[in-house]
Amino acid sequence: MIKILNSANITKEEILCRVETPANVDGAVEEVLANVKANGDRALLEYTKKFDGAELERIEVTDAEMLEALATVDEKFVKILKQAAENIKNFHSRQVRGDFVTNDRPGVVLGQRVIPLARVGLYVPGGTASYPSTVLMNCIPAKLAGVGEIVMATPPKNDGKIPAEILAAASVAGVDRIFKMGGAQAVAAMAYGTESVPAVDKIVGPGNIFVATAKSKVRGIVDIDMIAGPSEILVVADEKSDPELVAADMLSQAEHDKLAASILITNSEALANAVSAELEKQIAELPRQEIARTSIDDHGRIIITDSIEKAVEISNLIAPEHLELCVDKPFDILSLVKNAGSVFLGRNTPESVGDYYAGTNHTLPTSGTARFSSPLSVDDFVKTTQFIYYSDDALKADGEGIAYFAEKEGLSAHARAVTKRMAK
C-alpha cells in the first residue's frame, strides 16, 4: 500500500526518495563496453543470444524484413502513428533556429552557424514492453534538425524479429538504418562502431539501468541526450479531484518499471485516503500489476499539505519528470512551477496525451535533473560554430585594448599576435 505522509513533519530525504544505482552495474557495463569495442559484431551476436535468446545471422534489419513487418501492422495503428508524427513535427518545427550575422561595428563581422549532427544513434527499449512512441519522439526532432543519418538500435524478440509496431514507427518517422541489438552492447556499438554498425556522434533514447550506465560511460566519446532514471509522475490535486482518475494517472507511470515513482501531493486528506483505496482497487485490474504493485509500495507516496501553493513548492523540490496540475485554474499556478520536465494542465490532460499524441516530447529529465535540464528538442541534434572577421582598420581600432587585456593575463604572445599586425 502507498505511504501517506504529511508535509509538516516530512524530511527532505522522504520527499526526494531517489533510487540509487546498484553497485554491481558499473563493472558489468564496463565489461560489455570493452568486449564490443574489441570484438565488434561477434560480441553483439553473443550478447543477443545471451540476453534476448535470439540467434542472428546479421544484425541489421533488411528491406525484406521491413516490408514483411509493415504488412502485418493494422491500418488504424498506422493512421494514428502518422497523426501523432504530424503533431510532434508541428510542435518541434517551432524549435528550429537558423544562423545569424552581425555587422554593428565598421570592419567587424561576427556570426553563428547552426550545423546538424552528421549521424545520431537512437536507442529504443524492448523487454517488458514495446515503445513505438519513443521512435517518433526521438527521430522527428532529429529529422527537423537536418541530421544526416539516423541509426536505430532496439533488441529483437527471441525469434530474431523486431516488433512490427516499432518498424512501422521507424518507417513513419524516417529512420535510416535499424539494428537488432539492445542493452549496454547497443550503446557500445553505436559509440565505437563495429563491422556492421557505424559509429555515431550522439546517442539518444531511454533504457534500463544498464543502458543509462553505458551512456554515462561513453559520454565524451559521443554526446548523449541525458542519463534517464526511472520514470516519475507527480500529481498536484485539490479536493475537487476525482480519486479514480488521479489513481489511474499515477498507475500510468507505475506500470512502466518497478523503480518508477508515482507521487500525489494534495491539500485534502479525504482525497489522499480515497486515492490510496483506488490504487489498491485498480492495481488488481492491471495486466502489469506485479510491476505496478512494487512501484507503488516501494516508491509511491502521497503527501498532504495545507495548500496547493505548498504542493507546488514541494513539487519544485522534487523536480518531477511529469507534473499534472489537477485544479480548476491550472494556468493561474503554472508560473509557480520552476522545475518539471513536462506539465499537464487541468483535469482532462493525463500524462498519456503527452506520451503519445499531443506533440510535445516525452523524452524528459528524470531524478530531479529538471532543475537544470530540458525535454529533448531540435537543439539536441545540432551544434553551433561561430565566426569572426576583422578588417585592418577594425583591428587597429580595437588592438590596443586587446593587447592590454592579454598582457593582464600574462600572455604576451597573445598580445604580440595583435601588436605585430598593428605595426605593419
Cell matching residue 313: 513548492
346 and 214 share a domain? no
202 and 244 share a domain? no
pLDDT at 20 over 80: no
- Return the residue matching grid coordinates 517551432: 94
45 and 108 share a domain? yes
12 and 71 share a domain? no
Band of residue 8 on the pLDDT scale cut at 50, 70, 90: confident
Say which range, 16-20, 66-70, 124-128, 223-227, has the weakest mean pLDDT. 16-20
165 and 183 share a domain? yes
Band of residue 55 on the pLDDT scale cut at 50, 70, 90: very high
288 within some domain: yes
79 within some domain: yes
- Return the residue matching grid coordinates 498519456: 352
Share of the chain above pLDDT 90, in %: 92
SS3 339: coil
pLDDT at 11 over 80: no
pLDDT at 251 over 70: yes
Q: How many CB atoms lie within 10 A of CB 409?
A: 9
171 within some domain: yes
Domain of residue 414, residue span: 391-422
pLDDT at 257 over 90: no
pLDDT at 422 over 80: yes
Band of residue 52 on the pLDDT scale cut at 50, 70, 90: very high
29 and 15 share a domain? no
Last residue of a domain, one of 204, 224, 244: 224
60 and 184 share a domain? yes
Phi-psi region of 292 (alpha: psi -120 to 50; beta: other; left: phi over 0): alpha
383 within some domain: no
Average pLDDT over residues 38-56: 97
37 within some domain: yes
12 and 36 share a domain? no
Here the CATH number for the domain that contains residue 72 is: 3.40.50.1980
314 and 395 share a domain? no
253 and 303 share a domain? yes
> Torsions phi, psi of 51, nearest 5?
-95, -30
At 228 the pLDDT is 84
108 and 248 share a domain? no
Last residue of a domain, one of 208, 224, 240: 224
> Torsions phi, psi of 174, nearest 5?
100, 30
86 and 33 share a domain? yes
- C-alpha separations of 134 from 204, 295, 362, 422 in Å: 10, 22, 8, 57
- 325/304 Cα distance (integer angstroms): 15
- 30/334 Cα distance (integer angstroms): 43
Band of residue 19 on the pLDDT scale cut at 50, 70, 90: low
Question: Could you read off the pLDDT of 84-105 as tens digits, one per residue?
Answer: 999 999 999 999 999 999 999 9
Average pLDDT, the chain: 95
Band of residue 265 on the pLDDT scale cut at 50, 70, 90: very high
More confidently predicted of 330 and 15: 330
pLDDT at 414 over 90: yes
Last residue of a domain, one of 344, 359, 374: 359
Active site residues: 321-322
Q: With the C-alpha atoms ordered 382, 204, 180, 128, is the resulting torsion angle positive or negative?
A: negative
Counted domains in the chain: 3
Band of residue 36 on the pLDDT scale cut at 50, 70, 90: very high
Radius of gyration of the chain (CA): 25
